[in-house]
Amino acid sequence: MNILKQSIALLLCSLSLTLAQAASIPVPTAPKLAASSYLLMDYDSAELLVEHNVDERIAPASITKIMTAYVVYKALADGHIGQEDEVLISEKAWRMGGSRTFIEVNKRVKVGDLLMGMIVQSGNDASVALAEHVAGSESAFANMMNAEAQGMGLKNTQYMNTTGLPHPEHYSSARDIALLAQALIRDFPDQYHRYSIRKFTFNGITQYNRNKLLWRDESVDGLKTGYTETAGYCLASSAKRDTMRLISVVMGTDGPNSRVSYSQSLLNYGFRFFETHKLYSAGEALTEARIWQGEIENLPLGLAEDLYITIPRGQYQALAASMDLEQAIDAPVSLGTAYGKVSVAINDENIRQQPLIALRSIPEGGLWRRTVDTVLQWLE
C-alpha cells in the first residue's frame, strides 16, 4: 500500500466510529435570494456551495474597504507604517461625505484609530486619511489596491477610490469579494479581530458596526457592509463553527434587514448540510517516484498547498483518493515541478485535483549512475 493510500485509510479509520453513527443528510436546494448576486464559499477549500451571478461586475460600495484595509495591513506588516503613527488629517479627508468617523482637519489621528473608524464605523474620511498616509494620495493608493487585486487573480475587480463611493469604472464581483475576504483572513489573522468589534467611540461620538449579524449569530466575526443607491444593500460575512469557516457575499438587496437575513440563511445552509476536511498537508510526502539518471533513485512527491475538501455531511466514508504519475522521470529534477496529480472522488465523482510536485531537487547522477540507468531503461 503506498503512502497516499495509507494516509487516507488512517484518516478514514480515525473518524469511523463517529461516521458510522452519522447518516448521510440529503442536501436540499440552496436558498434563492432576492439579490443581484450572491454566494457561499468554504474558507479552506474555496468550494462554492451556493452561487448566483458570481462573476457579474457590480458596484461594491463600502465593501471596497476590505481591500483598503488589506493594503494598509500589508504596509504595517512590511514596517512601512506603524499603528502608533499620527496621521495629519487633510482637508480632502475631512470633507468626505457619506459614513464618517468625524476626524478633524489638521488634527493628528493614530493609524490604529483610523483603522477602527474605517472598519467599525465605515468612515470614508478615515479611509482617505489612511490612503494618503500610506501612498501620499488616494489615487496612488487605488493603484496599490489594483495591483493587489491583480496579484490575487481577481478578474472582475477595479478600484478607483478607497471608499466605494460610486464611479463608473469602480467595480467588483461576488466571487472576487469572497476571494479577497479569504485572503485578508488568511494573510492577516492578527488584524482580523477588528471586524467583530460592535462599536467604536471617536471624538466623543459612538457608532455601531453596521453588520447586524454580529448581534444575531455568535459564530459571525466579520466582515463588511456596503450601501449606495447604485449598489443597493450589500454584506460580506464570515462565520466559524467548530473547525469550519464559511464566507458569504450578498449584493444588491433592497434593505439593511434583507442583507442580514439573506446572509444568515446562506450561512445556516452551509453549516447544516456540509462539512470540510483537511486530507493532506503541504510538503507531506504522499508517494515516491523512480528517478532515472539521478543522484538518487527515489523522488518524494507531495502537494504545494494543503488539500481541503467540502462535501455533504455524512459522505466522508464515500471518499476515495488516487494518483496519476508520469511514466518516466529523468534527472535533473527541480523542487516544485509537477509530475502527476492527486484526485479525490466521492461516489466515483471527481471533486478535487491537485498537482503532485517534487518535494526536493535532484541533480543528475555521475557517469556510472547514468550508464546503469540507461541500461535498465533499455531492458524495461
- Known catalytic residues are 62, 65, 122
Reduce the secondary structure of the chain to three states and give it as a string: CCHHHHHHHHHHHHCHHHHHHCCCCCCCCCCCCCCCEEEEEECCCCCEEEEECCCCCECCHHHHHHHHHHHHHHHHHCCCCCCCCEEECCHHHHHCCCCCCCCCCCCEEEHHHHHHHHHCCCCHHHHHHHHHHHHCCHHHHHHHHHHHHHHCCCCCCECCCCCCCCCCCCEECHHHHHHHHHHHHHHCCCCHHHHHCCEEEECCEEEECCCCHHHHCCCEEEEEEEEECCCEEEEEEEEEECCEEEEEEEEEECCHHHHHHHHHHHHHHHHHHEEEEEEECCCCCCEEEEEECECCCEEEEECCCCEEEEEECCCHHHEEEEEEECCCEECCECCCCEEEEEEEEECCEEEEEEEEEECCCECECCHHHHHHHHHHHHHC
Tell me which amino acid residue 138 is: E
